[in-house]
Structures are given as structure tokens and as C-alpha cells.
Structure 1
Amino acid sequence: MTDINHIERLKTSDMELGATEAVQRHATRHVVERRPISQRKLDFEHSRPRWLREMAAEATGVFFYVYPGIASTAAFFLNDTEPIFGSLFQIGWAYAIGIAFAIITCGPTSGGHFNPAITLCFAYWQGFPWKKVPYYIFAQIFGAFMAGMILMGQYHEQISAFTAASKAAGRGTVYNGGPASILCTFPGANQNNLGYLFLIEFFVDSFIGIVIWACLDPANPFVSPVSAPFTIGLAYANMVWGFANISISTNLARDLGTRIVAAIFFGGEAFSYKNYSWIAILVNVPATFFATAYYELVMRDSLKKIGTGRAVHAEGEEGLTRHLSRVGVIEEGMAGVLRNGGGKGDGNV
């Protein structure tokens, strides 16, 4: 018979030995097994054109990114910028989380570009097939267009009332803070210097581009595949918080797709207002090329990338050995140099 004065506890601080054992030995709940994957399903998935799946993923990803962002903007503007309905801080988070969700849900299918400038940079720097570039860009713009169209339908009554009030006040519909600015960016009333607006967009997009390229660098020890979607999203939010009040776009597809919607509902002034639209649409491309070139030419450590196993020397092991020999690395030190990216502080060079 168990000595009641010698009660032991196991793994918990609130159940006696007998109760603990009973819980541990309790039959595990059996969940219904998932249906086996049929050959019919495999055949169907194999029959889908790869290009169509990639286009669908890019369009869906841009939709996931743009839709919550412009919805948050609509809630803010349509309620007279009352803090209870949002702020620039909320809008920044809407874009950030939308980008993270876009990468998580659609990145495995298409690679998760969601930006024509990124697609072009992948083609130039990373060997992405140039033949895929046009339909990736089309899908990205289409995704933003659909986000704008659906939002206009969902907020139709509120936007119509806002439009009527704006016209009655003599302000029109296309201006910063007006009905059309729910969908895309317009400069403020006092922003008439296009060079100034160009520089704002260029440096904002360059900032985002460097963060994206750093997150995609397999030799970067600070960003894991799990954290990359949120890090990239935060880069966008960071720029929204800092510069949305003085007009930024950040993405050709995001701006052009929704600007077309704005032109459908509010007229061609969506493209002609202060001659600004070309900055919002086009500057993203050279800015992102500048950012990725800066990273590739100044910050990239290809030897460390080879050391992670994510890249190889173009001439194979012999080419790598010749390089290490030429820079003064003895054969026994090759592994250490690869691990450390060729740093001279490791004593091998």
C-alpha cells in the first residue's frame, strides 16, 4: 500500500502521481487520416501549364499585398481621417502584413516577385528566364487592377458619397486625400517640383530594394526563410510611415494597376495630374536596379554564398581551387575560408 505521506509529483505541480499517470496513459485521440492523394489528382496537377500557375500566383500575391493596403487607406479617408478608423501607422502595417501573406501563400509557386522591378532584377542578376518577364509583369499589374476593382465595388456607396461631397466643395476627385487617392498616389497641393518627387521615390525604392536583396542572400545569417516575408514587409511599412505623407508609390504594378482603376472611375486626370504618374509608375525600376547593383557590387560575398552550398563556381571545383590558390589560401584552409567567406581575420589568408 502506498505511503500517503510520501506523495510524489510528476511533470506537473498540481497533480498527484496517480492522476499524472492516468493522464499520460490516456488513449491518444485518433484524428481521421487524410485522404490519400489519387493518381487522378496528380495527373490533373501535372496537366496544368506551369506558366499559368506562375501568373496566377503573381497576380494573387500582388492582390494580397495591394488589397489590404488600399482598404486600410479607404477606411482612413472615408471617415474623415478619424483616428478610430486608422492612421498612416495602420496603413503601413496593412501593407507590411499583406506583403508577408503574399510571399507566404504565393511565393512557393512563382518565387514571390510581386514587383516588375524585382522580376527584371532577378532576370539580370540571378538568371531568371527573360521569356517569363513579360507575363510576370502583366500578372502583377492585373493583380493590382483586380484589387482596385473589388475595393471600388465593396466601398461603392461610401466612395460615391465622398466623391459627391468633394465635387460639391469644388475640389474635384483627383488630388492627394481625394477619392482617387484611395487607389493610387498623388502629390500634395504644394508639391510641384517633379525633381524633388523623383528623388523621394528613388531613395525610398532603393531602400526597399537593398532590404529585399539582403533578405534573399543565402549567405546572410540574420534572415531565415521564415522571417524573410515579415522583414520585407516591414521594409515597405518603414517607408510608408516615413514618406507616405509626401507621396510615394514603391511598386510599378501596385501603382499602375490601381491607377488604371482610378482612371476608369475618376477620369484621365488620374494619369495627368501634375504630370506625376510617370514618377509613381517608372522610377521604381531604375531605383531597384541601383539598389541591387549596389548590393551585388559592394556588399555581395559570393565565396560565402558558395560556402553555404547555394552556389558553385562557374568552372567547378577546379575553378574554385585555382581561385583560392591564387589569393594565397593553402589547400588545408579551404573549408575554413569557405565557411568564413574569405575573411582575412580567420588566419587562413
Structure 2
Amino acid sequence: MAKPGWRNGLAAELSAEFAGTLILILFGCGVVAQVVAAGLGDHDSIAWAWGLGVTFGVYTAARISGAHLNPAVTLTLAAFKGFSWGKVVPYALAQTLGAFVAALLVRWNYSEVLAKFDPGHTFKTQFVFSTLPGNGVLPVSEWGALRDQIIGTAILLFLILAVTDLLNTPPGANLGAFIIGLIVVAIGMAWGADAGYAINPARDFGPRLASFITGYGTAWRDQYGNFYFWVPIVGPLIGGLVGGALYKYLIGNFLTREGELPQEPGRVPAPEGNR
């Protein structure tokens, strides 16, 4: 027999985070595989599919977990919006697992295409799954990529907080998920050159691990031979906190009413009678 409140408990939230992140990566890594290895589409295809993947992932999980889908989001909400610190690590693990499983599905489905385009499973197709400095082509150092990830994720979290703050002017008609997807599209189009706009530790580490165990021996390094996997983990975590702080002190503090309880952006408020 299920425990009281089980359907609304942590297990349900972790299941939603897993499912929402899985949806995100199915579209994200899937489109990169199609463009890079199959030659179908272009940069704009990638930007739009990643953004739509975010939208669909948020619609999948928002009612149950808030649809963070990103450890940087979870950490920032804990730091600035009252989200439970005890849920930060479980959420991050569920998000990373969802990304890992989705990447395995992409790897399996596109196995023939990837093998024909890049038989040695090299950097030519590594960035189907994980990011590289300069997208594997431009001369960008790991430190330049770290800077890029901090800035890009700061933009992401600043805007997520702006469009989900109920005291600001959030999108109506349940369009919040669509607007967040557009934020990711815009970041991809404007901030994608230096480091591939991972802006999400789970999005990068989960697929990176999946690629490593399926034949990409250089998954942890960049094209210069440096250990790189830490950049799209550390950069987004720092950037999320920077973005959260900027929103709080530039906007949020001027919106909060005295005695207002912290919000968890993305969560659907309970009806008045159930509070």
C-alpha cells in the first residue's frame, strides 16, 4: 500500500525530473546527431530543437516537480527561492540519470549514421553528446569556455526567475514553458560559439558518460587533450548563482511584499482552499 502523500512526495518529483530531462535530451542530442552525422538541418535547427526540448520537458514535469531539468536551476532556487536544500542532490541525480538514458537512446538509434560518418568515434561526433570549447573548431581555451558558461547560465537563470516570478509579469495561459524554451533558443543563437551553450551540468555530464561507455574514449577531454568535462559542470553552477543574485538584487527585492513566502518557480500554486 502506498504511503500517505506518496504521489506528491520526493519519489514523484524525482520521477518527473527524470522524465522531463529525458525528453529534453532526446530532442537536444537527437537534433545534433541528425545535423552533424546525417547532414540534415543546420545551426538554427539545433537551437530550435533544444529550445523545444526544454519546452516539452517543462510541460512534462512542471506540475509535479517544478521542472528544473538542470542542477544549476535547482541550486539557484535553493539559494534564492526557498527550494529545499535536501532535495538539491536527489534532483541533480535524477536529472543526470534522465540525460544519461536519453543519450543512450540517441546513441543506439543513430548508431549506423554515427559509425558511417565517424567510424573511429572521435571528436567529429563527440559533440553530438557533450560540448567542446569552440564547438571543437574555434580556438577557445577551457578558461574561455568556463567564462562563457558562467555568463550564459547567468543569463538563463536571471530570465527564468524573471518569467516565473508571480510578483513580476509572468506569461499567462500556461505559456511559461514556451517562453523558457525561447530563452534557450535565444541563448543558443547568441551564446553558442565559445562552448556550445551546455548551461546545464546534467545535460552535459549524463550524455558524456553515455558516450564514454559506448565507444568515445576521449569523452572526458577536449580537442587539445585537456580534461574538459568539469567546465560545463562548474561553469553553470557558478553562473546560475550569479544570475540568481543579479535577479534578486536588481529586480526581485523590489517586487517582494513584506511577509511574502519564498516561491518555487515553476510550481503550480495550490488553490486557496488547500493552503
Band of TM-score, shorter chain: 0.7 to 0.9
User: Which residue in 2 is equivalent to 1:120?
Assistant: 75
Give the match for residue 130 of structure 2.
Answer: 184
Match of 2:272 in 1: none
53, 56, 65: which one aligns with 1:98: 53
| Counterpart AA for 1:262 | S
One-letter identity of the residue aligned with 1:51: L
Matched, 1:277 2:229: yes
Q: Deviations over 1:20-60 (max 9, x none)?
A: xxxxxxxxxxxxxxxxxxxx9xx799555722111110011
Q: Bigger CA drift: 122-131 or 103-112?
A: 122-131
User: Residue 190 of structure 1: CA displacement?
Assistant: 4.2
Distance in 1, matches of 2:7 and 2:64, equals 13
Q: Which amino acid aligns with 1:52?
A: A
Q: How does 1:320-339 map to 2 (within 5 A)?
A: none
For residues 49-91 of structure 1, the C-alpha deviation after alignment (integer angstroms, 9 at most, x for no partner) is 7221111100111111111111111111122x3xxx2111111
Number of residue-to-residue matches in the alignment: 256
> Would you say 1:265 and 2:265 are equivalent positions?
no
Bigger mean CA deviation after superposition, 260-269 or 143-152: 260-269
Whole-Å separation in 1 of the counterparts to 2:141 and 2:87: 37
What TM-score do you get using the length of structure 1 for normalisation? Answer: 0.68
Matches within 5 A, 1:249-264: 249-264=198-213
How far off is 1:159 after superposition?
Answer: 1.5
1:245-291 deviation per Cα after TM superposition (whole angstroms, max 9, x unaligned): 43231100100000101111234421122332211222100101000
Aligned-pair RMSD on alpha carbons? 2.3
Query: Quick check: 1:59 aligned with 2:18?
Result: yes
Q: Is 2:108 the counterpart of 1:157?
A: no
Aligned to 2:89: 134
One-letter code aligned to 1:97:
L
Q: 1:243 aligns with which of 162, 171, 191?
A: 191
Query: What's the offset of the Cα at 1:306?
Result: 2.8
- Say if 2:144 and 2:194, in contact at 8 Å, map to a contact too: no
- 1:146, CA displacement in angstroms? 0.7
With the length of structure 2 as denominator, give the TM-score of the two structures: 0.85
Which moved further from structure 2: 222-231 or 56-65?
Answer: 222-231
SS in 1 for 2:105: helix
Question: Could you tell me whether the CA contact under 8 Å between 1:206 and 1:288 is conserved in 2?
Answer: yes
Q: Deviations over 1:105-137 (max 9, x none)?
A: 211001111111111111121221111111111
Alpha-carbon distance in 1 for matches of 2:174, 2:210: 34
Superposition deviation, residue 152 in structure 1: 1.1
Cross-structure match for 1:204: 152
1:139-168 residue CA offsets vs partner (Å, 9 max, x unmatched): 00001001100111111211122232xx4x
Counterpart position of 1:37: none
Query: Structure 2: how far apart are the matches of 1:213 and 1:127?
Result: 13
2:30 counterpart of 1:71: yes
Question: Does 2:243 align with 1:291?
Answer: yes
Change (3 A) 1:201 1:174: farther
Larger radius of gyration: 1
Tell me the distance in 2 between the aligned counterparts of 1:101 and 1:254: 15
> Which structure 1 segments of 5+ residues have no match?
1-39, 168-172, 314-349
Who is 1:214 aligned against? 162
Deviation at 1:225, TM superposition (A): 6.2
Letter in 2 for 1:193: S
Tell me the residue number matched to 1:194: 142
Q: Which amino acid in structure 2 is aligned with residue 243 of structure 1?
A: W
Structure 2 letter corresponding to 1:194: E
Which secondary structure state, in structure 2, belongs to the residue aligned with residue 244 of structure 1?
A: coil
> Which segments of 5 or more consecutive residues in structure 2 lack a partner in the other structure?
263-275
Shift of the 75–286 alpha-carbon distance from structure 1 to 2, 3 Å rule, reads: same
Q: For residue 111 of structure 1, what is the amino acid of its counterpart? A: G
Partners of 1:201 and 1:280 within 8 A in 2: yes
**C-alpha separation between the residues in 1 aligned to 2:138 and 2:199?**
21
SS in 2 for 1:272: coil
Letter in 2 for 1:242: A
Instruction: Check conservation: 1:60, 1:106, Cα contact below 8 A.
Output: yes
Do 1:54 and 1:110's aligned partners in 2 also have CA atoms closer than 8 Å?
yes
